[in-house]
Amino acid sequence: MKKVFLLAILIRLLVMPFFYHPDIKSQHFHFQFFSQGVFNIYDYLDQNKSTLGYKDTFNYLPLTYYTFGLTQAISRPFLGNNFYQWINDWGITQNDYSNMVFFMLILKIPYLIFDLLIGFLLYKIYQNKKVLYFWLFNPISIYLIYTLGNFDIIPTFLTLLAFYFIKNNKQLASYLSIGIAIALKMYPIMFLPFLFFYDKKNMFKNIKYAVFSLAPLFLSILPFLKQKSFYDSFFGSGLTQKILEYKFAGLSIFPMIFILILIAYFFSKSKYKFEIAILQTFLIFIGLVNFHPQWIMWFLPFIIIFFINSKIKNKIFFTIFFALIFAYIILFNDNYLTWGHLIPIDSNFINLTSPYQLIDLRTSINPSIVQKNIHNLLLLFGIVGSYYYGKNK
């Protein structure tokens, strides 16, 4: 087992420094203000937007700012003098820093720790080395964590930890864990109903715990509840808008299907009812929401059991589904999602023709239409897969 983890760490150390996405820079641009004594990031950005190199709002929750602001402050001695020059440079020289390789390595170390902890936790939950090996060596999670470089790995770990605790009848610890996850990033609130109905024997206790789980969120946002800058920033986030985007007869489709999945979960007696519900949510979510690539991470640890314990036709289904996901991703008109990832190696990678540009320039096909059709295929696969796994439990 030690050799397996050492090999996994080695692979990650070879990937971490050489891949970049601007999200990690924009986030750390905002986190720097914590060590400068700024505790109200929302008002600060609103009042100083005109003088800052990066103009976007901080679309995350306060606990995220404090957690990673403190993490950045602790790692400051290891980042070098021109780290702060780099995160404040949004001009034509923003990619011309030879030590971006070093920045990427240091900034992703917390992600490495939580990545390995997820592998360990999956082994504890399923007592199956195949699940552990799949997590440690599959290219999907490596891409999501170390190429995109987003902090979603941390609330993902806390959500998986909540599942581990609920399986072991530790309800209080479970609700506290997912409560902290929600306070870091709002999406784990989707998982809360599945924890709530996991054990239906004592509903009154579940209600108390569910209220308790929202305490970290409430306490962390309490100082900002009367501030317009907080609401403008938070409700400007991608998830808030995209999850309600697809509508039928004026009603958002995803929330309605989510309720149907929750009802099926409530009556299910399957050993893997939690995982099936998360899988169904994932399949429909991907088909109905114009997702950011890193959002796949939210669901991945819960669905890999279906890669391991499945027939060859199911493996083919998942292979095609994820191939379509990555085809959808590379057809964004965004060089940072293709060759731009390799900027730490050479800044000229950003100037290479992206797949979107290639289709647009060399053919009469509109790449946005191609991407939309791929998304429709994902929805079709999602509906079929969701029905299949729900029917067969």
State both tokens at 386: 């969701």
**314 falls in which pLDDT band (50, 70, 90)?**
confident
- pTM of the shown model: 0.94
What is the phi-psi region of residue 169: left when phi exceeds 0, alpha when psi lies from -120 to 50, beta otherwise? left
Of 122, 273, 299, give the one whose Cα is nearest residue 198.
273
- Least-confidence region, from 16-20, 275-279, 307-311: 307-311
Q: What percent of the chain has pLDDT over 70?
A: 98
- Least-confidence region, from 12-16, 21-25, 256-260, 268-272: 268-272
Residue 239 has pLDDT above 70, yes or no: no
Gap between the Cα atoms of 112 and 6, Å rounded:
12
Contacts (Cβ under 8 Å, ≥6 apart) of 352: 335, 338, 339
Per-residue model confidence (pLDDT) at position 241: 66
Of 318, 168, 215, give the one whose Cα is nearest residue 160.
168
Per-residue model confidence (pLDDT) at position 185: 93
- Mean pLDDT for the stretch of residues 121-139: 94
Per-residue model confidence (pLDDT) at position 392: 65
CB 315, CB 307: distance < 8 Å: yes
Q: Is 215 exposed, middle or buried (0-12, 13-18, 19+ CB in 10 A)?
A: middle
Strand partners, 247: 252
Per-residue model confidence (pLDDT) at position 238: 62
Q: Where are the domains of the chain?
A: 2-331+375-392
Per-residue model confidence (pLDDT) at position 321: 95
Per-residue model confidence (pLDDT) at position 231: 86
Residue 286, helix vs strand vs coil: helix
Token look-up 């409530």 returns 266
Gap between the Cα atoms of 145 and 296, Å rounded:
10
Half-sphere CA count of 120, side-chain side, radius 13 A: 10
- Mean pLDDT for the stretch of residues 217-244: 82
Per-residue model confidence (pLDDT) at position 393: 58
* Terminal alpha carbon distance of the chain: 32
Phi, psi of 252 (to 5 degrees): -70, 130
CB 253, CB 288: distance < 8 Å: yes
CB 58, CB 45: distance < 8 Å: yes
- Mean pLDDT for the stretch of residues 158-187: 95
Q: What percent of the chain has pLDDT over 90?
A: 78
Per-residue pLDDT tens digits for 323-381: 999 999 999 999 999 999 999 999 999 999 999 999 999 999 999 999 999 999 999 99
Residue 80, helix vs strand vs coil: coil
- Mean pLDDT for the stretch of residues 214-218: 94
Per-residue model confidence (pLDDT) at position 164: 97
**Mean of the per-residue pLDDT values of the chain:** 92
Per-residue model confidence (pLDDT) at position 301: 96
Query: CA–CA distance from 257 to each of 15, 248, 260 (Å)?
Result: 38, 12, 5
Per-residue pLDDT tens digits for 44-99: 999 998 899 898 889 899 999 999 999 999 998 899 879 999 999 999 999 999 89
Long-range contacts of 223-227 (CB under 8 A, 24+ apart): 223/40, 223/62, 224/40, 224/42, 224/62, 227/40, 227/42, 227/43
**247 falls in which pLDDT band (50, 70, 90)?**
confident
Token look-up 């100037």 returns 351
Of 110, 95, 145, 111, give the one whose Cα is nearest residue 293.
145
Residue 21 has pLDDT above 70, yes or no: yes
**237 falls in which pLDDT band (50, 70, 90)?**
low
Per-residue model confidence (pLDDT) at position 179: 96
Per-residue model confidence (pLDDT) at position 100: 94
**249 falls in which pLDDT band (50, 70, 90)?**
confident
Per-residue model confidence (pLDDT) at position 298: 96
Residue 282 has pLDDT above 80, yes or no: yes
